Amino acid sequence: MKKLMYKIVAAGMFASVVFSSCKKQLDIPSRNSLDASVALTNKSGIEFSINSIYSILKRESHYGRDLFSVTDAMADITFANGRSSRLLAENRNTALSNVVIWGGSYAAINEINLTLAAIPAIGDATAADKTRWEGELKFLRAFYYFDLVRNYAYIPTFTVPAQDKGGVVITLQGFNSGQAAADYRPSRATTTACYAQIMSDLYTSITLLSNNNRGRNYASKHAALALGSRIALYEGNWARADSFATAAITLTGGIGSLTNTGNYVTGWRAADHPEGIFQVWYATLAENLGVNTSLAATHTTLAAPGAFNGVRQGQGDLVPNAFLLTQLGISGFPANLAQSPPPPALTYSNDVRNRLFEWGVNASGHYVECTKWLGKNGGPNWDNTVVLRWAELYLNRAEARYRLANESGAWSDLNVIRAARYTGFVVPVTPLTGQPLLDEIWRQRMLEFAFEGHRFYDLKRNGLTINKANPVVSMPATDYRLLPRIPVSEVDGNPNMIQNFGY
């Protein structure tokens, strides 16, 4: 049986053949499809490789859909309506339903390792080029490893010791030979070692990158600080999460700014979200994932806001459930969620976030749908995916400060978000304290990042039960299904690779 790293190399070698036939955004082949000794010998080769590493983030399995839609389907805020039979198993939290990013992530990491090793010998590049390359690659390696470990392992703030099989494979060596990869039989690093390597790469990227570098489509110091605040929060390093978030908030010459009640909705209609610090960039319409599996098609049937009497454009497979709609301050929808035409007028509270939820096109019944990913520049299913944005900085810091017993600081950050989202918001005279304060921070995270893939991880890292009324689910954080199965092909033939508990 071929070993892990051989398949990592193979994934990169065949990515351009397999995926370009069905996903146009992967027309740029992985640089692993060529011998690194030939491909990575000049400046253009390095730039080509770095672009291909970014391009893996565009896949359906990554930020093209699954890391947002599949995770929210598994959480407690959505309903899979069965229009195309997609995401039903994930919404029911059945065994084996989870994100599947192993192969693509390790293909990217292998390419990163090969490219890093090649940089010192590049003769037609300046020192500034090499500094930027290393900074972007170290950010990307941290990013890919973080997504791997938060999915395939327990998050340090909540573990089940009897079921904990460790983190993921950490390798800093690139393989350009099938035989060399086949001879490599890795084991899983500890979760602690994974986070240590992630932070090491992130700190390096911070020292090497400029504040805004090449903008929100690429790694930058601002993006690294924002990602650091998220990683530290997951790790339970509250002081570090506070420090990273503060540094990102106060950074001079960074990227974007927090929106408010006046421009929140229009921000989501722009090609580049004004709050975005780092986004996965779909440069051309030809890169869109199409009518079945793009973020827009997954979440709405609408071609434009208010067009519920128009022609159906997307599938609208995954919609907000009654719990989320109620928490957003929306009323007027039926108990069973589906509404035959004509749909009744919805009533909205003063939470501006709920204006991104409206009746979709009648396709086996109208549903209230999320329009965050409705298409840009007139092109359907063509949204840049905002991964790191300003609101998270304040909510990360609010939770970290609460954990550090700085409740006044947590209350202040919480109210920055509430003032930016509730029309006419006035800070209450009596502040929340204790568990009610933490509960409200979590609630604001749920409302702020609905359909952006945060909720499942927030439940997972805090050890909270996933409760759903439709479909009926009560899945405690100790359930083995919280972690996905490591691909069987990675375990077979490698005695050093331990499968996750329950599989």
Amino acid at 123: G
pLDDT value of position 38: 62
233 to 87, 104, 144, 157, 391: CA distances (angstroms): 28, 25, 17, 9, 15
Distance of CA 479 to the CA centre of its chain: 23
Q: Count CB atoms within 10 A of the CB of residue 365.
A: 16
Report the distance separating Cα 381 and Cα 376, nearest Å: 8
Q: CB within 8 A of 462, min separation 6: which ones?
A: 157, 158, 442
* First-to-final CA distance of the chain: 19
| Contact of 382 with 282, CB cutoff 8 Å | yes
Tell me the per-residue pLDDT of 350-382, one tens digit each, with 9 for 90 and over: 999 999 999 999 988 999 999 999 877 567 888
Report the distance separating Cα 387 and Cα 460, nearest Å: 19
The yes-or-no verdict on residue 395 having pLDDT over 90 is yes
Q: Give 37's pLDDT tier (boundaries 50, 70, 90).
A: low
Q: Give 65's pLDDT tier (boundaries 50, 70, 90).
A: very high
Give mean pLDDT, residues 344-352. 97
The yes-or-no verdict on residue 49 having pLDDT over 60 is yes
| Contact of 118 with 111, CB cutoff 8 Å | no
pLDDT value of position 14: 33
Give mean pLDDT, residues 255-262. 98
DSSP class of residue 255?
S
Q: Is the pTM of this model over 0.85?
A: yes
Report the distance separating Cα 238 and Cα 438, nearest Å: 14
Spell out where 19-114 has E strands: 78-80
Q: Residue 177 corresponds to which tokens in the numbers above? A: 């030979």
Q: CB within 8 A of 64, min separation 6: which ones?
A: 23, 25, 58, 280, 289, 293, 294, 295, 385
Least confident of 31-35, 102-106, 449-453, 481-485: 31-35
Report the distance separating Cα 498 and Cα 294, nearest Å: 33
H-only helix segments in 26-65? 36-39, 43-56
Mean pLDDT of the chain: 91
Report the distance separating Cα 111 and Cα 45, nearest Å: 12
The yes-or-no verdict on residue 1 having pLDDT over 60 is no
Q: CB within 8 A of 358, min separation 6: which ones?
A: 302, 305, 306, 308, 346, 368, 369, 371
Three-point CA angle 381, 147, 284, nearest 5°? 25
Give mean pLDDT, residues 389-409. 98
pLDDT value of position 97: 85
**Residue 499: exposed, middle, or buried by beta-carbon count in 10 A (0-12, 13-18, 19+)?**
middle
Give mean pLDDT, residues 17-22. 32
Give the residues across from 278 on adjacent strands: 388
Report the distance separating Cα 483 and Cα 460, nearest Å: 9
Q: Count CB atoms within 10 A of the CB of residue 237.
A: 20
The yes-or-no verdict on residue 12 having pLDDT over 70 is no
The yes-or-no verdict on residue 195 having pLDDT over 60 is yes
The yes-or-no verdict on residue 27 having pLDDT over 80 is no
Q: Give 10's pLDDT tier (boundaries 50, 70, 90).
A: very low
Q: Measuring CA to CA, which residue among 250, 252, 230 is closest to residue 241?
A: 230
Report the distance separating Cα 86 and Cα 88, nearest Å: 6
Give the dihedral of Cα atoms 451, 191, 233, 216; nearest 10 deg.
-60
In order of their start, the domains of the chain are 4-214+480-491 (1.25.40.390)
The yes-or-no verdict on residue 196 having pLDDT over 70 is yes
Report the distance separating Cα 453 and Cα 167, nearest Å: 21
How long, in residues, is the chain?
503
227 to 154, 359, 485: CA distances (angstroms): 19, 34, 26
pLDDT value of position 382: 87
pLDDT value of position 35: 56
Spell out where 58-143 has E strands: 78-80
DSSP run (H or E) holding 389: strand 385-389
Residue matched to tokens 């405690």 = 476
The share of the chain scoring above pLDDT 90, in percent, equals 84
pLDDT value of position 132: 98
Phi, psi of 23 (to 5 degrees): -130, 105
Tell me the per-residue pLDDT of 284-334, one tens digit each, with 9 for 90 and over: 888 989 888 999 999 999 999 999 999 999 999 999 999 999 999 999 999
Q: Which of the residue ranges 13-27, 378-392, 427-441 has the most confident prediction, judged by mean pLDDT?
A: 427-441
**Residue 472: exposed, middle, or buried by beta-carbon count in 10 A (0-12, 13-18, 19+)?**
exposed
* DSSP structure string for 337-359: S-BPSSPPPPEE-SBGGGGGEEE
* Pair type for strands 318-320 and 78-80: antiparallel
The yes-or-no verdict on residue 251 having pLDDT over 70 is yes
The yes-or-no verdict on residue 13 having pLDDT over 50 is no
Tell me the per-residue pLDDT of 154-188, one tens digit each, with 9 for 90 and over: 999 999 999 999 999 999 999 987 777 778 899 99
Q: Measuring CA to CA, which residue among 355, 396, 352, 84 is closest to residue 227?
A: 396
Tell me the per-residue pLDDT of 214-240, one tens digit each, with 9 for 90 and over: 999 999 999 999 999 999 999 999 999
Phi-psi region of 200 (alpha: psi -120 to 50; beta: other; left: phi over 0): alpha
H-only helix segments in 236-344? 238-250, 264-269, 290-293, 295-299, 322-327
Q: Residue 448 corresponds to which tokens in the numbers above? A: 């702020």
Q: Measuring CA to CA, which residue among 215, 213, 204 is closest to residue 278?
A: 215
